[in-house]
Amino acid sequence: MFRGFIKTLEDKNIIKGIEKVVSVKYQIAAYMKKYDGYVLFFKNVKEYESWKVISGVVGSKDVLYLALGTNKDTLYSVVEKAAKKPSKPKMIDSGAFMENKTDSLFDLPILTHYEHDGGPYLTSAIVYAEDIEENVQNVSFHRMMVIDEKHMAIRIVPRHLYQMFKKAKAKNKDLPISIVIGVHPAILISASYPVSYGVNETWVANTLLKNQLRTTSSPINNIEVPAHSEIVIEGKILHDKTAKEGPFVDITGSYDIVREQPIVEVGRIFYRSNPIYHALLPAGREHKILMGLPKEIKIYNLVKNVVPKVYGVNLTSAAGGWLHAVISIQKQADGDAKNAIMAAFTAHPSLKHCVVVDYDIDINNPEDVEWAIATRFQADKDLVIIPNARGSSLDPSADQETLRTTKVGVDATIPLDRNKEHFVRARIPVDVDS
CA distance 164 to 143: 17
117 as an active site residue: the answer is no
Q: Please state the three-class secondary structure of 178-247 as a single string.
A: EEEECCCHHHHHHHHCCCCCCCCHHHHHHHHCCCCCEEEECCCCCCEEECCCCEEEEEEEEEEEEEEECC
CA distance 385 to 248: 32
CA distance 218 to 45: 28
**148 burial type by CB count under 10 A (0-12 exposed, 13-18 middle, 19+ buried):** exposed
Asked if 65 contacts 75 with a C-beta cutoff of 8 angstroms, the reply is yes
Catalytic residue among 36, 117, 174, 250: 250
CA distance 128 to 203: 13
Catalytic residues: 250
